[in-house]
Structure 1
């Protein structure tokens, strides 16, 4: 509290008052446009100053510095940079849908380059700006004092164009902001004409004329829902996407994404820099080269794609991570009667039409007053000419101008045939008429000139009648507004630049991918790739296989990189990847690069597709489609040390880039298998490297949380480990026989009918499924098959063989049965995996 002039003032109240005064000053005098002409004060003052200098569209250019000097000297009490920035923006074709200033020189670029200094550029008003100033001199708007009271400036401009909508605006004030997008002038005027004809039109009716925003840099608007919401409430948002084309090569080499249009106000140079940064940070993959080929003919950004990468996938990643797609937020705030307010589309159009009504009324009154004054003078001249001899005699006999005026002003002139319309019986001249008579030149006294005066008087009477009709008839007034709007549309109307995709707000990546069966492989060092299933041709059992997957020497180890995991899935399926740290990751099949079988490539490192921790390794993968993922299913886990666990799948719905915890593992343990269980009545089979198996019911393992470690499923000894997890549906009504196919590291295997395996309690040592001998080697894989299925066998040298299950002999589970040869192996070559193919996979 302070004492001043014996008054106690509250600091809180004083600060509140001062802040509100400052806020309103910023809102009204700087940042928010007037709803009538769509201009902020600085823009209005610039246009008015150029008008006062006669710096119009059909005159010579003037230096920008000259305009800035006039504006800050007479009308705008702020720095020159704010004024010049306003001039620059009104001259930029990539900022304004319809530029208000015609600039000559460097006014910046879409790359974010600054405009040249004001002393180097020249400007003049553009042609369309003449419509903003139309009838300004006819008292159509109120005039106010400038900042120092030495000049008069218009409070608002009498714009004939709906500038707020066609050029839009953006601004940030204190506690309030506005962001109105530009629109197509033809569409907006058509909506205004429709409103003039019927002011009861609904917003949906107006939307038939205005499709949506129309940006100077074109682009594609995704969906109409956000636009409709903004037009209804004054607030909304929509997705604005760059226009692009994809040049595809027949052999998927050197595909190109070509960007031809950018979203509104996106800086091209910054966009390209961002893409380069994301590629360096390994957040964007598959981009070979980025070039800017833009020239005077238009924008062109070329993005070259690496071999066998999906251009559609990369394009969607670009949309997600860069400003090739932006969210444009609409906030239609403007000032009306000195107060900021949020308007919907209809209210903005209504405000513009109301402004036109006010302007035309004031213009009509101004014209009527002026033409009545002329009528009055013409009537005096006609009286003088019709009584010419008398007027001359009076003037000749007068001693002075004053004496002549006094004599003429007191005479009642009688009606005559020359000019009956002026008065009924008699007519007294006024001082203005007498002055006009005294100023009349002698050549105007001829009979021809007399007839001209009479013709002009008749024409004036017709104009007066027309002007009075405008003021007295609302329909006549609205008809005039409609006529002027049609003239504007015909004069400045053009086609839309921005395309509107009304089908939806987002293009689903899945829709861009052709669905087909793929073989997904992951190597020991973490390289992943996909190949069409069609490239794997069937062979007889015992063949050598074809070289499908090339192995590579690991520089850090004395071992080759080999394929560890192989599964068959649709391109639209989701792969769940489980790591040795107990985490689970999500990955779409189409996100993995596709390669030809004959290409000498390993694939792409999973660490570049997933946010894996240092030294984290994928140890199990499963595929699931979206339909099954939504059901109330479980994921069943098995570890190398014999632990098992069952967790409801809804606990894995929250997808994170860094992965989520799937289970906790002991120090020496690792996850060897995970599978989706679709029923509660499943049976579980675990098989170990020593050839033993255990067979128990799934419900013996209770459902646990993600962080649980699990329970013992199989007891192991020595250095043995669990190598396979098999889920068996307990369907007693099925007529089709199922078999367990076991395969050893030396290429031997057998299939055994499922009924030979008896159910036991979990946690036991199990029974022998296949004998482990020196000839066979350790058990490396076991799967459930049907006789109609096919299998793929893969070796540590990258060889694959696809063969029919029925070609493999069916043997008993007896310990003495060692199996038959599945694949012929070379020296030091080992079988590492077996994958089942359903009979319907081609």
Structure 2
């Protein structure tokens, strides 16, 4: 019998479905790609969240983990999210939770964390069993009205619960906090922005739907990183705003401090976004060990939670801080670039969006939320008003209602009796009447029901009006956005630095006159000119700058913040700097070492400064000249156009011979008369045409003869030939000075000895300065001790060129005048009121009178000798 049993025959080919493997791979990969794109890597353009962020916040909301309640363990939140909505592992959920609590990662944190959530140095957070969290107030604004059917819900992964498809956020989250993710075949990298700016941009779009992206950028200027920094250049930012793709360069913020020992240190107070501070410190140390960067003695990360970022780079004595900073920008992450790639999901599909499209998506979403919320509130109000209307009907027929209820055997029979009583009560109202408590039947409760009904009818009318008017809905959206800005908005953290080829940064700088001071040891600063009080001649002066004991102010002048300064050094080099780039300080501050602001060698120093309004004005630079003179009497003229292309490391302005140095530089129009004065008290006057223009590399020609090694040129001035209002002001070391008419100096050929300009004695000291003045300026005298005095030049009397002058400032026996300069007359001069100096002035006037009489006698005796010198000047002059 067993032999008759046969196995069941099956055909395996009947269970195999033949498919094209190429088509199957395509289909499977596309399904996988879309799952990654939609369900994991890309944010939704409406609320700006990826699914994991949305699920974490929704789970915390469902747990009642609000900002005004106690913290809950992070592990509890992670378990809730993983068990109900996001079955992808606890580590990914906890990493998301941690990032939303880190204020150096999120521009506006959404989770309020308690415990160790890591730090900017790369230290990891504590385990989830140790940390605690709750919703931040700003996150609650992203969940507002979620219970009012404002968004669609979908089934979770096991179809047991509902989760929101999108959150009804009032915050433009995608622009505010940004997002980054790598999908399949695409990626997104959206940078954070300032909430106040984004809200202003949304409001501007609502007011004008045709607004351009350039107009939106007036409000949304650039990304705003949580760690601050400086956005270096706006071209890439503009491309990102216009097209959704661009590149942003961010630099860390640093400054230079001088330690008590005199050494300088670079202090980094802000690093670029997502830069590890410890890694940055290690990189700097590695570059020093590799000798890629030289001049750094030590680097240390002194950052802490209380004071924030502080990385200190100690420099060697011979290092130039500005050079080291540029090297740090070049070789380390102190300068970092970020790619903008604004890819987000809109209507379930990935799309690269510009600034306006992102704002439009959010505003349209808010419009949808407002409509759905209004419809929900209207429905609920109408339902409640319907019940209250039933209450009022029942109260109007109270006795009959009570009789009907008492006569009914069951609640269902009582409900039917109320519905059939002819009062217009439906089933819902009848059921509500039966559930009415007896205390609501009192007269006072009846009034409350009536008031509630009336207010509901008013609310229903407003809601219906809102649904019927798009303009009212836009006004409501603007009002809610303004509330968000008032509650959570803050100032921009990242500064914006425009490159020179992008725009004139002067447009962002207020134009004002400032006083520029440079000390003998090379410290520079700018100060408001109002800080220098005007005093009468002969006063004691005031402290103009606190310097080191061996230092004193050597250059002092006024310039506009929009102008360019040309710095000429004693070795004949020329450097450029904008006035607004000079560090600001008060009158008593020391200033910054000029070597830190430009690449000036340690063995060189600035000797002359020229203020230029605009180096890009072709007509101006081709019709003006730079006139240079040296200590040994050499003079040289070069067209300004040759100095119109600034270079970071400077250019040669004149070839200086051994033993000589540059002392003065002047800007001329080619039609001036040149005057040069020497320490021994002589001066020469000759036409500028006597000096022919030469290139920057030339040596120059003789301007005045210097008789011996002890004598030297102390200054040069240029007076326009048509200007008859000018007088020549000279000042000696001991504080004597005077004004003399220009005509008293006879025009001669260059290269002569010149004539006496002041009577030099032991009482006056050597000549230290010469200026051309009109009497409308103020004179600022600076002593080697740091004392300065500002007085009106009109108070200085005119005298012959051979006199010793009058006392301009009382100085101590060991002190001497270091420099003089003139300041244009201010509209409101501040008059000294500390002490009365009338008596001092009377005594000084007597001294001046005696000095003037003495000068006349000396002048008559010297005039014949001067005339003899004048007759031989032209014969003695010669070219180099």
Which TM class, normalised by the smaller chain length? 0.5 to 0.7
In structure 2, the CA distance between the partners of 1:312 and 1:787, relative to structure 1 (3 Å rule), is closer
CA–CA distance in structure 2, aligned partners of residues 203 and 185 of structure 1: 18
Could you tell me which runs of 5 or more consecutive residues in structure 2 were left unpaired when the two chains were aligned.
Answer: 1-11, 504-517, 519-570, 577-597, 606-640, 646-690, 693-697, 704-877
In structure 2, the CA distance between the partners of 1:100 and 1:356, relative to structure 1 (3 Å rule), is same
Q: What SS does structure 1 have at the residue aligned with 2:266?
A: strand
2:701 touches 2:879 (CA, 8 Å); kept in 1? no
**More displaced stretch, 149-158 vs 198-207:** 198-207
In structure 2, the CA distance between the partners of 1:786 and 1:166, relative to structure 1 (3 Å rule), is closer
TM-score w.r.t. the length of structure 1 is: 0.59
Of 419, 430, 437, which residue of structure 2 is paired with 1:441?
Answer: 437
Deviation for aligned residue 1:149 = 0.9
Q: What SS does structure 2 have at the residue aligned with 1:494?
A: coil
* Match of residue 755 from structure 1: none
- Are 1:468 and 2:478 an aligned pair? no
1:177 touches 1:333 (CA, 8 Å); kept in 2? yes
Of 293, 296, 301, which residue of structure 1 is paired with 2:302?
Answer: 293
CA–CA distance in structure 2, aligned partners of residues 209 and 840 of structure 1: 64
Deviation for aligned residue 1:6 = 5.4
CA–CA distance in structure 1, aligned partners of residues 288 and 145 of structure 2: 57
1:309 touches 1:593 (CA, 8 Å); kept in 2? no
In structure 2, the CA distance between the partners of 1:128 and 1:594, relative to structure 1 (3 Å rule), is same
Deviation for aligned residue 1:3 = 8.1
Deviation for aligned residue 1:435 = 1.2
| 1:63-78 pair list within 5 angstroms | 63-78=73-88
* Match of residue 226 from structure 1: 236
| 1:414-813 pair list within 5 angstroms | 427=424, 429-504=425-500, 570=573, 594=602
Q: What SS does structure 2 have at the residue aligned with 1:412?
A: coil
CA–CA distance in structure 1, aligned partners of residues 385 and 702 of structure 2: 107
- Are 1:14 and 2:24 an aligned pair? yes
2:231 touches 2:497 (CA, 8 Å); kept in 1? yes
Deviation for aligned residue 1:502 = 2.6
1:218 touches 1:498 (CA, 8 Å); kept in 2? yes
* Match of residue 175 from structure 1: 185
* Match of residue 156 from structure 1: 166
- Are 1:117 and 2:152 an aligned pair? no
TM-score w.r.t. the length of structure 2 is: 0.57
| 1:45-84 pair list within 5 angstroms | 45-84=55-94
- Are 1:412 and 2:422 an aligned pair? yes
Q: What SS does structure 1 have at the residue aligned with 2:18?
A: strand
In structure 2, the CA distance between the partners of 1:376 and 1:499, relative to structure 1 (3 Å rule), is same
In structure 2, the CA distance between the partners of 1:356 and 1:4, relative to structure 1 (3 Å rule), is farther
* Match of residue 308 from structure 1: 318
2:49 touches 2:174 (CA, 8 Å); kept in 1? yes
Deviation for aligned residue 1:339 = 0.9
CA–CA distance in structure 1, aligned partners of residues 321 and 222 of structure 2: 30
2:42 touches 2:345 (CA, 8 Å); kept in 1? yes
Deviation for aligned residue 1:247 = 2.1
Q: What SS does structure 2 have at the residue aligned with 1:128?
A: helix
CA–CA distance in structure 1, aligned partners of residues 489 and 64 of structure 2: 26
Q: What SS does structure 2 have at the residue aligned with 1:247?
A: strand
Q: What SS does structure 2 have at the residue aligned with 1:9?
A: coil
Q: What SS does structure 1 have at the residue aligned with 2:137?
A: coil
- Are 1:331 and 2:341 an aligned pair? yes
CA–CA distance in structure 2, aligned partners of residues 787 and 91 of structure 1: 72
* Match of residue 871 from structure 2: none
Deviation for aligned residue 1:197 = 1.6
How far does the alpha carbon of each residue in 1:410-462 deviate from its partner, in whole angstroms, 9 at most, with x for none? 1212xxxxxxxxxxxxx2x1111111111111111111111221111111111
2:246 touches 2:339 (CA, 8 Å); kept in 1? yes
Deviation for aligned residue 1:306 = 1.0
2:257 touches 2:265 (CA, 8 Å); kept in 1? yes
Q: What SS does structure 2 have at the residue aligned with 1:330?
A: strand
Deviation for aligned residue 1:293 = 2.1
CA–CA distance in structure 2, aligned partners of residues 241 and 13 of structure 1: 49
In structure 2, the CA distance between the partners of 1:324 and 1:25, relative to structure 1 (3 Å rule), is same
**More displaced stretch, 447-456 vs 77-86:** 447-456
How far does the alpha carbon of each residue in 1:637-669 deviate from its partner, in whole angstroms, 9 at most, with x for none? xxxxxxxxxxxxxxxxxxxxxxxxxxxxxxxxx
Q: What SS does structure 1 have at the residue aligned with 2:231?
A: strand
In structure 2, the CA distance between the partners of 1:81 and 1:3, relative to structure 1 (3 Å rule), is farther
1:222 touches 1:506 (CA, 8 Å); kept in 2? no
In structure 2, the CA distance between the partners of 1:214 and 1:786, relative to structure 1 (3 Å rule), is closer
Deviation for aligned residue 1:234 = 0.3
CA–CA distance in structure 1, aligned partners of residues 252 and 298 of structure 2: 19
CA–CA distance in structure 2, aligned partners of residues 137 and 95 of structure 1: 30
Deviation for aligned residue 1:335 = 0.7
* Match of residue 542 from structure 1: none
* Match of residue 280 from structure 1: 289
CA–CA distance in structure 2, aligned partners of residues 283 and 591 of structure 1: 18
| 1:159-238 pair list within 5 angstroms | 159-238=169-248
Q: What SS does structure 2 have at the residue aligned with 1:309?
A: coil
Deviation for aligned residue 1:8 = 3.1
Deviation for aligned residue 1:594 = 4.0
CA–CA distance in structure 2, aligned partners of residues 255 and 399 of structure 1: 98
Deviation for aligned residue 1:840 = 13
How far does the alpha carbon of each residue in 1:348-368 deviate from its partner, in whole angstroms, 9 at most, with x for none? 111000110111111111111
- Are 1:403 and 2:413 an aligned pair? yes
In structure 2, the CA distance between the partners of 1:389 and 1:182, relative to structure 1 (3 Å rule), is same
1:222 touches 1:505 (CA, 8 Å); kept in 2? no
Deviation for aligned residue 1:190 = 1.1
How far does the alpha carbon of each residue in 1:85-121 deviate from its partner, in whole angstroms, 9 at most, with x for none? 0000000000011100000001010001100110110
